[in-house]
Amino acid sequence: MTDTPEYTPPKVWVWNKPSGGRFANINRPIAGTMHEKELPVGRHPLQLYSLGTPNGVKVTIMLEELLALGHKGAEYDAWLIKIGDGDQFSSGFVAVNPNSKIPALLDRSGPTPIRVFETGAILVHLAEKFGAFLPTEAAARAECLSWLFWQMGSTPYVGGGFGHFYAYAPIKIEYAIDRFAMETKRLLDVLDRRLGESKYVAGPDYTIADIAIFPWYGGLTKFDQYGATEFLAVHEYKNVQRWADMLLERPAVRRGRMVNRLSGEPSGQLHERHDASDFDTKTQDKLAAAS
Ligand X SMILES: N[C@@H](CCC(=O)N[C@@H](CS)C(=O)NCC(=O)O)C(=O)O
In the complex, the residues that contact ligand X under the rule CB under 6 A are 26, 53, 55, 83, 88, 100-102, 118-119, 152
Q: Which burial class, exposed, middle or buried, applies to 58 when counting CB atoms under 10 A from its CB (0-12, 13-18, 19+)?
A: buried
Do 197 and 185 meet the contact criterion of CB atoms below 8 Å apart?
A: no
Nearest-approach distance from CB 100 to ligand X, in angstroms: 6
Nearest-approach distance from CB 198 to ligand X, in angstroms: 23
Considering the complex, state which of residue 53 and residue 269 has its C-beta at the smaller distance from ligand X: 53
Considering the complex, state which of residue 100 and residue 283 has its C-beta at the smaller distance from ligand X: 100
Nearest-approach distance from CB 121 to ligand X, in angstroms: 8
Nearest-approach distance from CB 241 to ligand X, in angstroms: 23
Considering the complex, state which of residue 93 and residue 237 has its C-beta at the smaller distance from ligand X: 93
Considering the complex, state which of residue 25 and residue 281 has its C-beta at the smaller distance from ligand X: 25
- Residue 76 pairs in a beta bridge with 46
| Cα–Cα distance measured from residue 19 to residue 28, given in angstroms and rounded to the nearest whole number | 9
Considering the complex, state which of residue 58 and residue 185 has its C-beta at the smaller distance from ligand X: 58
| Cα–Cα distance measured from residue 114 to residue 92, given in angstroms and rounded to the nearest whole number | 14
| Cα–Cα distance measured from residue 239 to residue 228, given in angstroms and rounded to the nearest whole number | 18
Do 149 and 210 meet the contact criterion of CB atoms below 8 Å apart?
A: no
257-281 residues labelled b (16+ CB within 10 A) or e (exposed): bbbbbeeeeeeebbbbbbeeebbee
| Cα–Cα distance measured from residue 157 to residue 230, given in angstroms and rounded to the nearest whole number | 19
Nearest-approach distance from CB 102 to ligand X, in angstroms: 4
Considering the complex, state which of residue 55 and residue 90 has its C-beta at the smaller distance from ligand X: 55
If we measure between CA atoms, which residue out of 46, 101, 110, 53 comes closest to residue 78? Answer: 46
Considering the complex, state which of residue 122 and residue 234 has its C-beta at the smaller distance from ligand X: 122
| Cα–Cα distance measured from residue 38 to residue 46, given in angstroms and rounded to the nearest whole number | 17
Nearest-approach distance from CB 101 to ligand X, in angstroms: 3
Where helices occur in the chain by DSSP H, the ranges are 54-68, 91-96, 119-130, 138-156, 174-197, 208-213, 219-222, 238-248, 251-258, 278-281, 284-290
Nearest-approach distance from CB 277 to ligand X, in angstroms: 27
Residue 259 DSSP symbol: B
Considering the complex, state which of residue 102 and residue 195 has its C-beta at the smaller distance from ligand X: 102
Nearest-approach distance from CB 49 to ligand X, in angstroms: 10
Contacts of 240 (CB under 8 A, 6+ apart): 188, 191, 192, 195, 217, 218, 221, 234
